[in-house]
Structure 1
Amino acid sequence: MGKISTILNCSQLLAVDGDTIKCDGENMRDMGDGKPFVSGYDTPEIRRPKCQQELELARAAKARMQELLMTPGVQVRDYGKTDRYKRPLVWVILSNGRSDGSVLIAEGLARVWMPGYEAYWCS
């Protein structure tokens, strides 16, 4: 994480999908263990999936993200930058120090993202 980040106080924390959260009504893009515009993680799309397999994986990623957001001691750290959709870029850190993105990657619900990455979730 390198940069000093601000810990956000979210009274309501929800999963929008596998890599987007909503903190008190504001959508935010989670970076996992990544750094803005350099690295991060990607999950399948719930909106406009390319196949049924992608939709099912997307639903599973969202459900798992919601479970992770509900674990005691979870922190949302604001990096201070936004993505191309003007969503704040954040890190979601679990009480054991792991990022939620690393958990989703380990469980096969997400993939490492880097510039040039092209998502394809259909077999």
Structure 2
Amino acid sequence: MATNKTKNGTGITLDKMIQPTLLLLIYQKPAHGYELIQNFKAMDPTEVVEPGTIYRYLRRMESEGFIKSKWETSEAGPARRQYEITMLGFKALKEAVIKLEHQKRQIEDFLITFKEMEERGNFSEN
């Protein structure tokens, strides 16, 4: 998967929205991996993402400095990693929002152009 480096040096991918969605979820509330998987699925039940994929993204985002984790132990079960966003991760999330706003405008322009052409009947079958 390609990472597009920006002028700030942070790389944010929009492929399948996995990385920005995870950053948003962690920004909303620090969480454990399983909780992030459940919240990810709740945001878009049609998007099928394997748990292993989520954990790979979490490891990569941690190695890139977008998130950090710490082990938490509990009486009720095994130790679990708690993920939280870093300042670099917050900047990457803001970049994702800017990119998404730009893509949204592009999509809106595309749809308007298509609808206008369709209404004019700009299609001829030969």
Q: Return the TM-score normalized by structure 2.
A: 0.27
More strand by share: 1
More helix by share: 2
Larger radius of gyration: 2
